[in-house]
């Protein structure tokens, strides 16, 4: 999240990267409901990037409940706030 920020050590910045942000509906629902958002190890959940809509939601919730998947739980609203701060400060997500 801090790679594009305008402050901090220059060697920790990634000013030449221009990336996009894909936001699924379930994320925005959880932001609205002040619910948790789960971050997964992409090596364990590699198929999520190919899914959307109802299929994405089903698979995402399956991974949330799988005890063998490495994950980190954060507040969706806190992540959204961080995304918006970066967007305002740098013009990119």
Q: Which long-range contacts (CB under 8 A, 24 or more apart) does 45-50 make?
A: 45/69
pLDDT in tens, 16-51: 676 778 899 999 999 999 999 999 999 999 999 999
Residue 6 pLDDT grade (very low, low, confident, very high; cuts 50, 70, 90):
low
Q: In this prediction, what percent of the chain has a pLDDT beyond 70?
A: 78
Measure the CA–CA gap between 80 and 64, rounded to whole angstroms: 19
Measure the CA–CA gap between 75 and 63, rounded to whole angstroms: 17
- Mind spelling out the 3-state secondary structure of 69-86? CCEEEEEHHHHHHHHHHH
Q: What is the pTM of this model?
A: 0.78
Task: Tell me if residue 48 falls in helix, strand or coil.
Answer: helix
Q: Spell out the domain ranges in the chain.
A: 23-90
């Amino acid at each position: 999240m801090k790679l594009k920020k305008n402050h901090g050590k220059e060697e920790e910045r990634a000013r030449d990267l221009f990336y996009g942000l894909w936001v699924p509906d379930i994320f925005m629902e959880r932001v609205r409901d002040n619910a948790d958002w789960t971050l997964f190890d992409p090596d364990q959940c590699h198929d999520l990037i190919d899914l959307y809509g109802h299929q994405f939601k089903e698979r995402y919730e399956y991974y949330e409940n799988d005890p063998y998947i490495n994950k980190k739980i954060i507040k969706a609203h806190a992540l959204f706030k961080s995304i918006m701060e970066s967007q305002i400060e740098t013009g990119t997500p």
